[in-house]
Structure formats: C-alpha cells, structure tokens
Amino acid sequence: TEALKIMTDYIFRVLRFRGVFAHFHELNKIVGRILSRVGYEKEGELKGTLKSKKGEYYNDIIYGIVNNN
C-alpha cells in the first residue's frame, strides 16, 4: 500500500499526469482493496475479456484515480 501511495504521488507531482488507471483480474480481490485504500475508485468492468489457460473467461476490473489539483 505504501509503495502504491509513493508511486501515485510521483506520477501526479513529477510526471504531472491527470489520472492513473489499474486493471486486474476479478479473482485478485486484494488488488482492489489496496487500490481503494490509496484513493482509487472502481471505474468499471470489462466482462469476459480475460481467458484462463483452462478456457474460462473472467472480468477485467478497472480502478482509477484523478488528480484534481
């Protein structure tokens, strides 16, 4: 969590990006919790866009944060 805070701050302050987005597999719920703790919000889901080696389809979850400063 601390590393993500530092990285996000760097992206906003030094690189001057307006927003940052993260994509992750729907079964990797811990990523969503970490992103939420840092201030990222769920932006949406891409349904059935990730295919496993077994041929099963999963959703791609998208979180984002916007710098309003």
Q: pTM of the prediction?
A: 0.88
The pLDDT value recorded for residue 68 is: 85
List of the chain residues with pLDDT < 70: none
3-state secondary structure (DSSP) of residue 1: coil
The pLDDT value recorded for residue 69 is: 76
Burial 36-55 (b: 16+ CB within 10 A, else e): eebebeeeeeeeeebeeeee
